[in-house]
Amino acid sequence: LRQAGFSDRDIWDIASTAAFFNMSNRVAAAVDMRPNDEYHAMAR
């Protein structure tokens, strides 16, 4: 990422965002959460 021009702060932000999404998806899977059908059916 540094070779692509990202700063240490940018790399931290990228990694922490990816880690949060990974963690939240695993927690959702662990408790068998399902997407909200009404929300996903909205034309947005």
pLDDT at site 4: 98
Distance, CA of 4 to CA of 17 (rounded, Å): 18
Please tell me the predicted confidence (pLDDT) of residue 37: 86
How far does CA 32 lie from the centroid of its chain?
Answer: 18
Tell me how far the alpha carbon of residue 18 is from its chain's centroid.
5
What is the reported pTM? 0.66
Q: Which amino acid is at 38?
A: E
Residue 43's pLDDT band (boundaries 50, 70, 90)? confident
Question: What angle is formed at CA 3 by the lines to CA 20 and CA 25, rounded to 5 degrees?
Answer: 15
Look at residue 19 and give its three-state secondary structure: helix
Mean pLDDT score, 28-39: 89
Query: Each residue of 2-30: pLDDT tens digit?
Result: 999 999 999 999 999 999 999 999 999 99
